[in-house]
Amino acid sequence: MDKSIEQFDQFIELKDVIVKSNGRVILNIPHAIIPADRITACIGPNGAGKTTLLKLLDGLILPDSGTVDYSFNTNTALVLHHTPMIKASTKTNISLIRDAYPSITSTEIDQVLERVGLSRLASSPAHKLSAGERQKLCLGRAMLQKPNLVLLDEPTANLDPNATEQVENIVRKLGADGSNVIFSSHQLAQVHRLAQYIIFIDHGEIKEKGPVGPFFANPQSSAAKRYLQQELAD
């Protein structure tokens, strides 16, 4: 399912990438072209290396060997699955982004709070927000960075259906605003709803990648076939 570089307006190229943790290989990617011009889902079993891949693409971690090259000037925003809140208001927590981006104005923060549906909770203690509200806060903070690539680690894990729908709508807004998205998910129905492209990772290796439709209809690798059979049987 690999396609040529020319298919993608923007892409990330990984060459001979090795990432280790405590002497164990977490990622082993000899070569991969990852599109950065659409909504892409990274799927695979628990412990496959999905979160590590997102951190690598963000630059939060560096490979032990190999290179990660971008065809574009990157401004990435990474939203991890667990993001702690300080004991302060929702607005104060979202405003922490100004430590890294001091040019962000209070007006811009208010506008983003409105966009993610948290205006009425601006003065509420952030640590008392629901899981869905916390995730919307984190996405709002990412929006304020005006990224051209947003990396989301399990953005709707442990959320109820209503909160999941709200978060997915925010992800679509990011795409509509020109921010391309790579997200990890175990929810195959969500991948169908949001993604245009799939990266399937297993045991730290990208075993298969390609457009969503062909991947689900006819996976090429035995690992992907097993994974889809197991997930769809649950």
Record the pTM: 0.91
Secondary structure letter of residue 3 according to DSSP: -
Question: Residue 234: its pLDDT value, please?
Answer: 60
How far is Cα 9 from Cα 99, in angstroms, rounded to an integer? Answer: 32
Query: pLDDT digit string (tens) for 58-99?
Result: 999 999 999 999 999 999 999 987 778 899 999 999 999 999
Which of 18, 45, 94, 69 minimizes the C-alpha distance to 200? 45
Question: Residue 1: its pLDDT value, please?
Answer: 44
Strands 24-35 and 39-43, by their bridges, are unpaired
Strands 65-70 and 11-21, by their bridges, are antiparallel
Tens place of pLDDT per residue across the chain (234 aa): 444 444 788 999 999 999 999 989 999 999 999 999 989 999 999 999 999 999 999 999 999 999 999 999 999 999 987 778 899 999 999 999 999 999 999 999 999 999 999 999 999 999 899 999 999 999 999 999 999 999 999 999 889 999 999 999 999 888 877 889 999 999 999 999 999 999 999 999 999 999 999 999 999 999 999 999 887 766
- Residue found by looking up tokens 């005006």 in the block: 146
Strands 24-35 and 11-21, by their bridges, are antiparallel
Phi-psi region of 66 (alpha: psi -120 to 50; beta: other; left: phi over 0): left
Question: Residue 3: its pLDDT value, please?
Answer: 46
Strand-pair partners of 34 = 12
Domains of the chain with bracketed CATH: 5-233 (3.40.50.300)
Query: pLDDT digit string (tens) for 49-63?
Result: 999 999 999 999 999
Q: In terms of DSSP H, where are the helices of the chain?
A: 50-58, 90-95, 106-115, 131-144, 161-176, 188-194, 212-217, 222-233
